[in-house]
Amino acid sequence: MSIDIRAHLPSDTSAATNRAVTEVVQGMQGSQILAIATAVRAMQAEGKQVCNLTVGDFKPTEFPVPERLVEGIQSAVAAGQTNYPPSDGLPVLRQAIADFYKRDLGLDYGPESVVVCSGARPVLYGTWRLFTNPGDKTVSFLPAWNVGYYAHLNQTDHHFIRTSPETNFFPTVEQVKEVLPNTRLMVINSPLNPTGTVIDPAVLQGIAQAIVDENNARGDAPPCMLMWDAVYWQLTKDSHPYKSPVQLVPEVAPYVIHIDAISKAFAATGLRVGWAVMPPYLQPKMKALIGHMGAWAARPEQLATAALLNDAESIETYNRWMKGAIDARLDTLYDGISAMKAKGLPVDAIAPQGAIYLSFRVKLEGKTNEDIRALLLNEAGMAVVPFQAFDLNEDSGWFRISIGAVGAEEIAPMLKRLEATITKAVGA
């Protein structure tokens, strides 16, 4: 006989939840992007034609992971590689990551600077835990992915600084200088989710130098750390080559935590291998934190990732293919939207520069972003995410397009539906 647990549970679940959990957890929000994606899947299940441009993920049939990863995982499991890895990652993987950074970026950090974990998120959260106390000043720029959730969880005095399309949604050096005093943690992500833009190296250099100057002036007071979220760094257009702030201003190295993963560059979001490359004087603290969280990556995935990263030729081939597949989608979307703009329709987009995203704007008189999102979904079968989901809480007309889950052939018919929808909305 089994015990029916439901008979013993409170009937008013939300009141019971709020009584049980902390205030911080009560205030936690779920992902708005995932909520929209769930609604889209429900429409698809009803047989409606929807081009799903919402999730920052990949459809494995469109973007399979490199063969080498699959083989490496399978053979590691078969060989009995199934016990705990060290909490900062297998030495062979930490060495492979250090070699990869030296080979591709000219940054000689050494394996003692690397902490491996299950995707980028644990080191991202770990960075907040390492450097912030509740009430500390933290800074990020709008729009950006998920920073608000982490600021809330860590109860910091968070400053969101608004950027503009004219600067590709990145801050200016002046904005950074203004907000730097007393800041403990600054978060910058490039290539940027949700905009698909890449920070201008001259601006990044100015920002890195400003952080060095600020920290020199602080003396013994805690420094400002820079969380440099570069999970999309391998996915830039050739016209916008990636630069780390440490390449541009080596003196900033003591303050920079690089956040990286196989999730996006190798379409391997579900395999959960990420890492931080950071100053070695801080590495043991991150290692301890990841160990206590138990957020290490699975051992077979670590071994397979090490083999992949050591194989420069495989990476090069895969990267060329992947960028071609991304371009085939983003460029078609950008060209289609630009053609509509040229016809006088109230749409706009920023030419793609990196990652798997496109900034897309629709301006319709008297319509909120939510009105427009619903119109695009219901009339054009085009599912996109408003910038409100990236903490830009205004009806700016800006949306994120993400191409990882769509086939290239879905885009042209969707653009036709979009043009018809906008033409009708303007005429109405």
Ligand X SMILES: Cc1ncc(COP(=O)(O)O)c(C=O)c1O
Tally Cβ neighbours within 10 Å of residue 408. 13
State which of positions 35-64 bind ligand X (CB under 6 A).
56
Task: Please identify which residue in 88, 136, 214, 229 interacts with ligand X, judged by CB under 6 A.
Answer: 229
CB 154 within 8 A of CB 129: yes
Q: Are the CB atoms for 136 and 326 separated by under 8 Å?
A: no
Stretch that binds ligand X, among 116-124, 125-133, 292-300, 399-407 (CB under 6 A): 116-124
Piece in contact with ligand X (CB under 6 A), picked from 117-125, 170-178, 316-324, 420-428: 117-125
d(CA 149, CA 128): 11
Cα atoms in the Cβ-side hemisphere of radius 13 Å centred on 322: 26
Among 119, 143, 300, 381, interactor with ligand X by CB under 6 A = 119
Residue selected from 69, 100, 109, 121 as contacting ligand X according to rule CB under 6 A: 121
- Smallest gap, in angstroms, from Cβ of residue 146 to ligand X? 7
DSSP 209-223: HHHHHHHHHHTTSPP
At closest approach, how far in Å is the CB of 243 from ligand X? 17
Letters for 136-165 (x = contact with ligand X by CB under 6 A, - = none) are: ---------x--------------------
Q: Residue 391 belongs to what H/E stretch?
A: none
- The residue among 90 and 273 lying less far from ligand X, judged by its C-beta, is 273
Minimum distance of ligand X from residue 194's CB (angstroms): 8
Say whether residue 231 binds ligand X (CB under 6 A): yes
Q: Which of 36, 37, 120, 325 binds ligand X (CB under 6 A)?
A: 120
Residues within window 180-219 making contact with ligand X, judged by CB under 6 A: 189, 193
Does position 274 interact with ligand X (CB under 6 A)? The reply is yes
Q: What burial letters (b/e) apply to 246-284, b meaning 16+ CB within 10 Å? A: bbbbeebbebbbbbbbbbbbbbbbebbbbbbbbbeebbe
Question: E strands of 143-200, at which residues?
Answer: 157-162, 183-189
Count of residues engaged in binding ligand X, rule: CB under 6 A:
14
Q: Do the strands 183-189 and 256-261 form a parallel or antiparallel pair, or are they unpaired? A: unpaired
Largest CA distance in the chain: 70
The binding site for ligand X (CB under 6 A) comprises: 56, 119-121, 124, 145, 189, 193, 229, 231, 261, 263, 269, 274
